[in-house]
Chain A
Amino acid sequence: MSAISKVLSAREGESTELVLRNASVLDPRAGVEGTYDVVIRDGRVAELAGPGGAKTDSAEVVEAEGLHAFPAFFDPHVHLRTPGREDEEDIETGTRAAAAGGYCGILAMANTEPPVCTASDIGSLRERAEREASVPVGFLATVTQGMRGEELTEMAELRDAGAVGFSDDGLPLRSARVLRRALQYQRLCGGVIALHEEDPDLSGDGVMHEGPASAVLGMAGIPSVSESTMIARDCALAGYEDARVHVQHLSARESVEAVRAAKAAGVRVSCEATPHHLALTDEVVRSLDAAFKMNPPLRGDDDREALIEGLRDGTIDCIATDHAPHSPDEKEVPFEAAAMGVTGLETAFSVLHTELVAPGMIDLALLVEKLGAGAPLFDLDRPSLEPGSEANVVLCDLGAEWTVGEDGYESRSHNSCFSGRKLTGRVLMTVAAGQVAYRLRSFSMGVAA
């Protein structure tokens, strides 16, 4: 395990001396829960002092009474659209969106235009991140050259250049033979292989979940088994090769069951679920609003319940947004013609707090834990408030009510599927690797003492 900022790339900045006074602190992993002054100094959590007990001589003081301080979040699944579609997102806007959502680190997918396939691609992205990124960002490389699913990329050289892992996300690895070779090669080069699981034959020209809603709308369905059968196949391969795989964006009940069975059989598999799959079902697609089009699609009620149960019982390791920016031109068209994908970084915490924690479906502690759990899956330190840890802290107002999109977005794209929705709970401030990466405009900071 390594510190997030040691492995990932970000803009160098002033490390802040900061005291969050009288904050309600919750770090379930470290077993911390109570009111403390959180002291941040030299890029670390220096101290959790008793309420009002921290020395504030040279520090900036934030009056945090009634506010919650958590370990900041980590998103292992983000699309930054760079290179190629900087009109939709780039490293600067994407990491700003991440900071606004309370994230202290993100991993960018490799399905750019062109895809990230060579060591020099990784090198130039990391250089750019060092100039532009407001939170540390890591880059995955593709598993196969050009994402064509045929020949492997130079995985060892890519790892040396800093690729955090590998994924052809956006497309499944159709060939079991190719995936098997990659899993074998992983013994040489390491790096988690992250899998977009979908059988293209079963998905066909599907645009939404196959179920009652698709029956009424007359739109081609993507059956749940398109995802779960590939998960079962790939878990079998990973088990056979004793390889380490991560299954991306689970959407279906059958998929949760497939991962649960694989874990029980000892396969080294982890998986993620997105806020939109945890909060919404295909019922919303009846509006025919392309804002609800993504892949995998929103599924049925029992699928959503199975995902939530998977969070509770540990089958689902972490929450990832699959933040996928798209231009209005790709979304202001009929549903079937629209691009797949939704943004998510800026709303993840608030959506899940509103839809899962507030109604009592999961505990706040579980949400905080799952929002940070993506880091250790990629061999990075889990964000923590334990004194001595790298300072990755998010300050939230759990009572704040806001409407998604009312103040615009930090992301360059506005294709949120929660646009216009009233949410409860909001990120006020994010500290990533000891630097203040974000503060809500209307949130006034205390003056330096």
Chain B
Amino acid sequence: MKHLLSIETLSRADIESILERAASFAEVGRRDIKKVPTLRGRTVVNLFFESSTRTSSSFELAAKRLSADVVSIKSAGSAVDKGESLKDTVATLSAYDPAVIVIRSPHAGAANLVARWTEASVINAGDGKHEHPSQALLDLYTLRQHLGELDGRKIWIVGDVLHSRVARSNLIAFREMGAEVTVCGPPTLIPRGISEELGCKVAYTLDGLEEADVIYALRMQRERMGESFVPSLREYAARYQVDARRLGPRQLLMHPGPVNRGVELSGEVIDSPQSLITEQVESGLVVRMAILYELLAGSDRPRSAATGEPLPDPTEIGQPA
């Protein structure tokens, strides 16, 4: 695997190999010195054109735990704000001969374009409302810790599906791993044609939520009120909020964060034992380490951006830093 641009292009076997790799990295996090020399001497560039706390910090820490040199660029104050095109920015950064460019962009397909313009491996850390593959992988990893295989499991994705790249990537990933998926939300926030296209059920109310093994709530953005997608947060919360009344004792609760307490989730379910929200963040770190490892040590030998020569194998995991 040279790039991670979407979940759509990954097979079940690809996904499983990343998840297994992630499990082997979990041990590193339990050490006193949480670092392995695997990517020593490699450069990872984080290029974030949208605000992000958990994804950018997670990728940054993952790269550091693998001993890579990390450069993180946020859109505010960068050359992009001075009118530089994405293509020129990528050309500039490629001059540092990075092994990996991690990109978050407000536009669908940005990561694919970057992959066309650089020799580095490219990781899509969210492109517009299109995909967020590393989120889907960390969610799968988290769920498998609790449920094992997902075949036949029922998962409900609840909330603003229309504007959510997490919903799209997770829907594809959950289905690929054998789960049955229902998307649920107000009709204004469910994209036309999604059920035929992605093979999910659509529900406009939470009736039937009790069948779910997993409830995956999405963030409800306040901007949506102004665009008349929903009349008010109050009405939204009344209809779609997952609260103690609606969350069964054997159901698992997930959320990509950041949570609007009291909107899509009530305070008590966030802190309930069924909630995997903090665990998702922990999984993010090991899964992103695994993604970096997979891209740089996978079957296609990575090449230097500058010379085009194959790079040496990364050091084996487990050796002391």
Contact = CB atoms under 8 A, between A and B. Distances in A.
Interface of A: 210-219, 221, 288, 329, 332-337
A335 B164 CA distance: 18
A326 B50 CA distance: 27
Nearest to B132: A218
B87 A336 contact: no
A335 B131 CA distance: 14
A6 to B, nearest CB: 46
A288 B197 contact: no
B158 to A, nearest CB: 17
A288 B198 contact: no
B185 to A, nearest CB: 13
Interface stretch (B105-113, B283-291, B298-306): B105-113
Contacts of B197: 212-213, 215-216
Interface string B197-212: 1100000000000000
A221 B192 contact: yes
Contacts of A336: 106-109, 128
A219 B192 contact: no
Contacts of B41: none
A215 B196 CA distance: 10
Contact of B165 (A213, A218, A334): A218
21 contacts: A214-B192, A214-B193, A215-B191, A216-B198, A217-B130, A218-B128, A218-B130, A218-B191, A219-B128, A219-B129, A332-B85, A333-B85, A333-B107, A333-B113, A334-B105, A334-B107, A334-B113, A334-B127, A335-B108, A336-B128, A337-B107
Contacts of A218: 108, 128-131, 163-165, 168, 191
Contact of A288 (B87, B112, B129, B191): B112
B198 A219 contact: no
Given A332-B87, A333-B85, A335-B107, A215 B194 contact: yes
A334 B192 contact: no
Contacts of A212: 192-194, 196-197
Given A219-B128, A288-B108, A334 B86 contact: yes
Interface in B206-225: none
Given A329-B85, A332-B87, A336-B128, A215 B108 contact: no
Nearest to A329: B85
The 8 A-B pairs with the shortest beta carbon distances in the complex, nearest first, are A288-B109, A218-B129, A334-B107, A215-B191, A212-B193, A212-B197, A218-B130, A215-B194
Interface string B175-199: 0000000000000000111101110
B235 to A, nearest CB: 22
Nearest to A336: B107
A188 to B, nearest CB: 42
A408 B202 CA distance: 48
Interface in B99-134: 105-110, 112-113, 127-131
Given A217-B109, A217-B130, A334-B127, 20 more contacts: A212-B196, A214-B193, A215-B194, A215-B197, A216-B168, A218-B131, A218-B164, A219-B108, A219-B129, A221-B192, A288-B108, A329-B85, A332-B87, A332-B113, A334-B86, A334-B107, A334-B113, A334-B128, A336-B106, A336-B108
B193 A211 contact: yes
A216 B107 CA distance: 14
Contacts of A334: 86, 105, 107-110, 113, 127-128
Contacts of B106: 336
Nearest to B168: A218
Contacts of B196: 212
A333 B88 CA distance: 11
B292 to A, nearest CB: 24
A337 B113 CA distance: 12
Contacts of A211: 192-193
Contacts of B87: 332-333
Nearest to B114: A334
Contacts of B109: 217, 288, 334-336
Contacts of B194: 212, 215-216
Given A288-B109, A335-B107, A336-B108, A219 B130 contact: yes
Nearest to B127: A334
The winner among A216, A218, A219, A288 for most chain B CB atoms within 10 A is A218
The winner among B105, B196, B197 for most chain A CB atoms within 10 A is B197
A173 B85 CA distance: 33
Nearest to A335: B109
A217 B165 CA distance: 9
A213 B193 CA distance: 8
A214 B85 contact: no
A207 to B, nearest CB: 9
Interface in B38-90: 85-87
A210 B192 contact: yes
Nearest to A207: B108
A333 B106 CA distance: 12
A140 B106 CA distance: 38
A263 B177 CA distance: 53
Interface string B143-172: 000000000000000000001110010000
A216 B165 CA distance: 9
Nearest to A204: B227
A329 B163 CA distance: 28
Given A334-B109, A335-B107, A215 B86 contact: no
Contacts of B191: 214-215, 218, 221
B115 to A, nearest CB: 11
A332 B109 CA distance: 12
